[in-house]
Chain A
Amino acid sequence: MAPQVQDEIDVLPPKGVRPPILGPGQTLRTVTDRIGGVVLTKHTPVFWLLIVAVAVAITGILNTAIGYLLMKGTGIWGINIPVGWGFAIVNFVWWIGIGHAGTLISAILLLFKQSWRTSINRFAEAMTIFAVMQAGLFPLVHTGRPWLAAYWLFPYPNSMGVWPQFRSPLIWDVFAVSTYFTVSFLFWGIGLIPDFATLRDQAKTLTVRRIYGMLAMGWRGSARHWNRYETAYMLLAGLATPLVLSVHSVVSLDFAVSVVPGWHTTFFPPYFVAGAIFSGFAMVLILAIPFRYLYGMQDYITLRHLQNCAKVMLATGLIVAYSYLLEMFIGWYSNDKYELAMVHNRLFGPYSKYYYTLIFCNIITPQSLWFNKVRSSPALLFLVSCVVQCGMWLERFVIVVMSLQRDYLPTSWGMYWFTKWDVMTLLGTMGFFTLLFFLFIRFMPAISIFEIRALLPQAKVKE
């Protein structure tokens, strides 16, 4: 199916009027056909094949990098003493952060009855799950002996009588991330059931019908089904909501609990959560803009959605900016020689150019979102989101590497130089993420069909 470019959708409405949540002229039929058609069509688009081919190749790089890592040891990366954590942890925090937007959109906005969320929640949830999968890779492979870390970090009764050390934030991480992944996965899965049933009903071949039939788990759309579904969905939304805040708070404790100047800070949890949502929404835009363009989904993901995402980014971006200021202020206000040295190192140390780039990416660039013109331009939004994503990666680099690089004793200070394996792993996870995401688009409804249908005027039932 060739992309249906409907440029007129992106034309701004007159001043004072917000763009609609749905494009004009949608009926129950068109919604089902358009969204379901992406999955059920026999013609795989060429761009999809191209993108997936590239993504598979990059996933191959990831496999190579991790295979070599398992063979040789973490020494193939640039980490050292004093910088014991490098790209792996930076990537971990970055991916986990990206994973935040999905659950926020689906759970919190659901509870707040924000109906615009329906167009983007499905693929944002998928994004969350895939991002957490990338993130979850790093804590495991960054250990010296992953074959032991894979199960020694979990509390299981064993003949050695040894348990994990529950005081360690890394153990909290294990629980936080695995819980988050489980709940997000369930939430996403349950939301998919009615749509799988739709696909089952629309399927033209027996195999496809059987596959989606199994996935639909016997959904018939009876009132009782809907009743149970709504209850379960709301319950999971309630469960997922605190997780949105807790996961990145716990991740931030990895740093805040330590004694390293630059890590040892009490405001890390809110700072990290804001940063996570910031980068998460940036990622939503990075995925939504090409998706709506390639698949002609401008009727479902309208300028309204993009604008709303941009507004969330602007708000969280300001919180992040405030955190950067606070970090510097507290460093100065503490009058602690190590904290002062940390601030000095951020501003004038050997990695200061990374810090200034971060300021440009995360504080200066998002200010453009104050302008409606920027918020309404998919191309500009895409650009800003990419810059923000870079900035958020740099933020973690600044926190992880620049703090470790110079801590207490000047004699132990040292530099960190990443290697090609570091870059290959980061790049590889991006490829793997893209691969998963495009497989998802091809085989699952990327936009919630039944929820969009519920938005149509026809769906309104007079009570």
Chain B
Amino acid sequence: MSNNSDSQSSLIPASEIKPATMELEAVRSKLADAKGPKYWRTLEELVDQQAFGDLLEREFPRHASEWIDPVSRRSFLKLAGASLALAGLTGCTKQPLEQILPYVRQPEELIPGRPIYYATAMPFNGHALPLLVETHEFRPTKVEGNPQHQASLGSTDLFAQASILNMYDPDRSIAVTYKGEPRPWGEFLGSIRGRVQYHKSNQGAGLRFLTGAVASPTLGSQMRAVLQLFPQAKWHRWEPIHRDSIRQGSKAAFGNYYDPIYKFAAADVVVSLDADFLSGSWFPGFLSYSRDFMSRRKDPKAGMNRLYVAESAPSTTGAKADHRIPALNAEIEKIARALAAKVGVGSAGGEQLSAEQQKWINAAAADLAKSKGRCLVVPGVFQSATVFALAQAMNAALGNVGQTVNYIDPVEIDPVEHTQSIRELADDLRSGKVQTLVVMGGNPVFDAPADVQFGDALEKFAANEQNQLIQLHIYRNDTTDFATWHVPEAHYLESWGDVRSYDGTVSIIQPMIAPLFDGRTAGEIIAIFIDQATTPGHDLVQAYWRSQHSGDDFEAWWRRALHDGFIGNTAFPARQVKANAAVPPAQTAHVAGQQGEFVEVIFRPDPTIFDGGFVNNAWLQETPKPLSRTTWDNVAFISPAMAARYGFLRLEQKTIEQSDRAKNVNADHQSDAENVIEINVGGRKVKAAMWPQPGQPDNAVTLFMGYGQKRTGRVGSGYGYDAYSIRPSGSQYAGFGAVQATNEHWSIAVQQGHFTMDDRAPVRSSNLEEFEKEPNFAREEPEPARDESLYPDFRDKGWYQQHAWAMAIDLNSCIGCQACTVACYAENNISVVGKEQVQRGREMLWLRIDSYYEGDPANPTMYFQPVPCMQCENAPCEPVCPVGATLHSTEGLNDMVYNRCVGTRYCSNNCPYKVRRFNFFLFADYETPIRKLGRNPDVTVRSRGVMEKCTYCVQRINAARITAEKEDRRVRDGEVKTACQQSCPTEAIYFGDMNDPNSKVAKWKKNQRNYSLLADVNTRPRTTYIASVKNPNPEFEKA
């Protein structure tokens, strides 16, 4: 009975059971509304609720009383099942939450494991880099060029390749903040709306916008709408790597702003006046220009072009020149003037030029005169307006306009002169005219001209509590210190937008992924000012183009634009403009009096981190700068002669060989303790590590901008010097200053210590004249015969029958731009190791570009040689591995079996090319979750203690092979493109199946200039090189 009573008492009378406050239906609906990570968050919230706790703790919370009801048994069972399923939640709380749900509805076109490519474009320095982006399950993993777009033709530069890493940067700004405190977006919106209302009442007085160069038609139209609504508001522009000289020069020459468009493919003779059109995307059109230019150098016998370069800072463009002359920045203008006089523009002003320079001018002028209408004079974007005007006048006089050069309306929306614009803004900030400043992108506190003292102006501005600085930026940077509101900016891969490329063609920027950190675009911020705060970015862009598109097929047209990655026929038409006949007066006259003890100080964007925007990008930090091969720091180039004068070099080094031999004393340097010099420009000083750079004009120091930011992330801090801090607005790219030696040293991480070839001839070159006499110059030393071995060949009949993968690299076309290196980082999940490890000689790059110098250090001949794995047929690495972790495939690849590798490093020791890389530590980031999103799922992330190397992108080969096998055919030529090949702007890398006689690579291998690197070691490399042929003017010496 007692038992009975016990059980009686444990029964809860139906009347006492409170109905659960939460209905399961409500739970379900709540869950149904939630998506993605929110789904789980909702569940967690549910679990925390009292009612839900009851639901879980008591087995039958409210149906206990209905036990006797036979009708409810079904609902009881339902409940029991649900409780059980949900009860699991409490037990799972300690495990990481992972989504394991399959797609309930499979997204259209998505096959798990197969990448999907979407077209988009990257806004860069006021123009577009058109892209195709590889996405895996809607995560962008790799950026490629858009092959259909004129401004890319399938290639990319290193900035585009590396931009993806910025998106997955854990140091990105992740929250809207008000004076540093996180705030919800709604609060920001409310606050700004009040601000907007206020400014509406005062016509926009005190409302200022600051952006970089804008090439987005939508944003442009929005800005115009804003300026209409707030007539007294002002829109300032500041791009630290601006093209003011082109603007000024264009105004001087044509009376208006125009952008020049060059046609290098049509030019037989190209004269570059400090124009580094083969160096980087800061020269708009770089990708298509370099391809066009190199298209005339693929076959030396088919009308090779000739390149004359006069340059003030050694560049990769100068390295490719047939005649290069180093000149001070101030001398370039004189050279331009003298050259102009020779081709019939203006008259020479009795310039003092060296004999070398005079000879160069004579030869160039003669060549230009010979090929009127088929030549080109290109002024540099960092040169003075005068040089621009002179160059365009020369082009006009030589009949090149319409042939090799055209002028179009500027790609930048409502162009202004940036230096002027930022100065006006700073003045207004100081005088208290500004109440609301909206800074979208950029970091003016860091990179504005030194004499503008933008930080100082902002401090004055911020002192007034009423004033507000609203900043939109992907990072929290130096400018954020003054920001009232900071809004995280959406990365271009997360945003909707549009942008024009260098020729005016519009690309729609479409997002690959929803903003990771709830970022906003500039368009969405501006929309608040025109009362469209709730309009999503997509609608803003679409609305603009709906207004631009006539015809009722908008949807189809829009889809086509998205699919192609550009809107057809939006390139700007060529304008018929006449160059002003009058030669502009010299702008650099003030220089003359200052020479003597003064040296020229030249400012250039950093070749890998550009204006500083990429400072937290580890791939770009570790990518060696072309020419100097330094990483992680910026250096100050001075000429070797100047370094000797300052006593920095211990030995007299008159030749490259001597400077290399000097390193026998100083040791091969992966880590170089370089002397620090102090550069003084107009009283502002900065200390920089000097770097004796062959080819640097004497009495000049070249500083690279972008380093030295105070607020960066985990990657960019603590390296380099801040060149912006002494960059005056009057001489943005070159000025005069003083240099002083100090006793300090700064160690530099260098990836290459020797720049001479010794007698090993890794790079072979000739010139056109000699090539015609001796076409087989690259193969002077006969390669060992195939049977020249002590051992019988292990390869029986089955080997190399199906495919024989091979690569040929055209040294004539390689411009050393490093795009391939960064592409390789992205494609193959290559780890970065950091400055200290680079100094130890442990960099991981699979594809390096060796640089060689030859001749006089004052003006050497320079060569680039990309070195991936040679995939030797007689690979020395293979027989020495004790566990068989590197094996020869029947298609000729040296396969690396990562999970078999125990890391003896014997293979690397035995590799004559030293292309193998070792994980000395756990270099791969296994910790940061966001980094995992961006990795290529087709490539293993290597752990510690494992050797790795170039695989010819074997994952791409396998993907193509699978497709081909399904379709029962051979892999077609061009179907497999290695990452390096795909990114190369000049198509210098050919890859394919040697067995296919019609493949490009097979044809190049038959070329008489084709040779193997270190052929005498009898490794039989599959990667071969096409020797370089230059085209110097045969009459140069007579000139």
Interface residues in B744-773 by Cβ distance below 8 A to A read: 752-760, 762
Interface residues in A409-426 by Cβ distance below 8 A to B read: 409-415, 417
Contact A414 B903 (CB under 8 A): no
Encode B914-928 as 1/0 by CB contact (under 8 A) with A: 101111111000000
CA of A49 to CA of B883 in the docked complex: distance in angstroms? 44
B882 at the interface (CB under 8 A from A): yes
Interface centre among A144, A350, A413 (most CB of B within 10 A): A144
Contact B905 A84 (CB under 8 A): yes
Q: How far is the CB of B628 from chain A (nearest CB, A)?
A: 13
Q: Give every chain A residue within 8 A of B946 (Cβ-Cβ).
A: 144-145
Q: Give every chain A residue within 8 A of B921 (Cβ-Cβ).
A: 72-73, 75
- One of A79, A145, A153, A407 near B901 (C-beta < 8 A): A145
A81-B917 contact, Cβ under 8 Å, with A74-B945, A410-B754, A415-B667: yes
The majority secondary structure among interface residues of chain B is loop
A149 at the interface (CB under 8 A from B): yes
Contact B909 A260 (CB under 8 A): yes
A308 at the interface (CB under 8 A from B): no
Q: Give every chain B residue within 8 A of A169 (Cβ-Cβ).
A: 880
Contact A409 B762 (CB under 8 A): yes
A152 at the interface (CB under 8 A from B): yes
CA of A405 to CA of B841 in the docked complex: distance in angstroms? 11
Q: How far is the CB of A214 from chain B (nearest CB, A)?
A: 39
Encode B204-237 as 1/0 by CB contact (under 8 A) with A: 0000000000000000000000000000000000
Shortest Cβ distance from B905 into A: residue: A84
A143 at the interface (CB under 8 A from B): yes
Contact B883 A413 (CB under 8 A): no
B668 at the interface (CB under 8 A from A): yes
A164 at the interface (CB under 8 A from B): yes
Contact A149 B909 (CB under 8 A): no
Contact A145 B753 (CB under 8 A): no
A82 at the interface (CB under 8 A from B): yes
CA of A174 to CA of B905 in the docked complex: distance in angstroms? 16
Interface residues in B564-600 by Cβ distance below 8 A to A read: none
B884 at the interface (CB under 8 A from A): yes
A225 at the interface (CB under 8 A from B): no
Q: How far is the CB of B747 from chain A (nearest CB, A)?
A: 12
A81-B916 contact, Cβ under 8 Å, with A143-B903, A413-B753: yes
Interface residues in B327-381 by Cβ distance below 8 A to A read: none
A189 at the interface (CB under 8 A from B): no
B837 at the interface (CB under 8 A from A): yes
Contact A74 B880 (CB under 8 A): no
Shortest Cβ distance from B663 into A: residue: A350
Contact B882 A80 (CB under 8 A): no
Q: Give every chain A residue within 8 A of B666 (Cβ-Cβ).
A: 350
A171-B882 contact, Cβ under 8 Å, with A82-B914, A259-B876, A404-B909: yes
CA of A415 to CA of B754 in the docked complex: distance in angstroms? 12
Q: Give every chain B residue within 8 A of A163 (Cβ-Cβ).
A: 884
Contact B760 A410 (CB under 8 A): yes
Contact A149 B754 (CB under 8 A): no
Shortest Cβ distance from B876 into A: residue: A259
CA of A174 to CA of B904 in the docked complex: distance in angstroms? 13
A408 at the interface (CB under 8 A from B): yes
Contact A78 B840 (CB under 8 A): yes
CA of A350 to CA of B666 in the docked complex: distance in angstroms? 7
Q: Give every chain B residue within 8 A of A348 (Cβ-Cβ).
A: 664
A373 at the interface (CB under 8 A from B): no
A165 at the interface (CB under 8 A from B): yes
Encode B858-884 as 1/0 by CB contact (under 8 A) with A: 000000000100000000100111111
Q: How far is the CB of A343 from chain B (nearest CB, A)?
A: 14
Q: How far is the CB of A335 from chain B (nearest CB, A)?
A: 12
Contact B758 A410 (CB under 8 A): yes
Q: How far is the CB of B932 from chain A (nearest CB, A)?
A: 21
Contact A165 B884 (CB under 8 A): yes
Shortest Cβ distance from A145 into B: residue: B945
A168 at the interface (CB under 8 A from B): yes
Contact A152 B902 (CB under 8 A): yes
Q: Give every chain B residue within 8 A of A258 (Cβ-Cβ).
A: 876, 880, 906, 909-910
CA of A408 to CA of B759 in the docked complex: distance in angstroms? 11
Contact B909 A84 (CB under 8 A): yes
Interface residues in A35-86 by Cβ distance below 8 A to B read: 72-75, 78-85
Interface residues in B836-855 by Cβ distance below 8 A to A read: 837, 840-842, 848, 850-852
A461 at the interface (CB under 8 A from B): no
- One of A144, A146, A254, A337 near B919 (C-beta < 8 A): A144
A-B contact pairs, 7 of them (CB 8 A): A84-B906, A145-B944, A145-B945, A254-B906, A259-B912, A409-B914, A415-B671
Chain A contact residues, CB within 8 Å of chain B: 72-75, 78-85, 142-146, 148-149, 152-153, 162-165, 167-171, 174, 254, 257-260, 337-338, 341, 348-350, 404-415, 417
Instruction: List 12 other contacts, CB 8 Å, given A75-B842, A146-B902, A257-B880.
Output: A73-B945, A74-B920, A80-B841, A81-B916, A143-B902, A143-B903, A144-B920, A145-B901, A169-B880, A170-B882, A406-B668, A411-B755
6 closest A-B pairs by beta carbon, nearest first, are: A144-B903, A144-B945, A75-B920, A80-B841, A84-B905, A412-B914
